[in-house]
């Protein structure tokens, strides 16, 4: 379980970081900036990325 030792040692920091990200996304969703960012990202993905199939 050496791969997870870092997360076990830093459990509190990982939880705080995840909570902060969730709060930030919630604020972006309430203000409407999340939709704007996602639409721009989808537009970029559909025009720039070429799928192999």
* pLDDT tens string 7-51: 899 999 999 999 999 999 999 999 999 999 999 999 998 888 787
Contacts 24+ apart (CB under 8 A), 6-10: none
* Token couple for 32: 């409407």
Q: What pLDDT does residue 2 have?
A: 85
DSSP state at residue 51 = -
What are the residues whose beta carbons fall under 8 Å from the beta carbon of 37, sequence distance 6 or more? 28
End-to-end CA distance of the chain: 38
Q: With a cut of 80, say whether residue 53 has pLDDT above it.
A: no
Instruction: Give the residue, 2 or 17, on which the prediction is more confident.
Output: 17
């Amino acid at each position: 379980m050496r791969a997870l030792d870092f997360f076990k040692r830093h459990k509190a920091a990982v939880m705080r970081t995840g909570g902060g990200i969730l709060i930030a996304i919630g604020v972006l969703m309430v203000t409407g900036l999340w939709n704007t960012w996602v639409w721009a990202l989808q537009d970029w993905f559909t025009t720039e990325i070429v799928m192999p199939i």
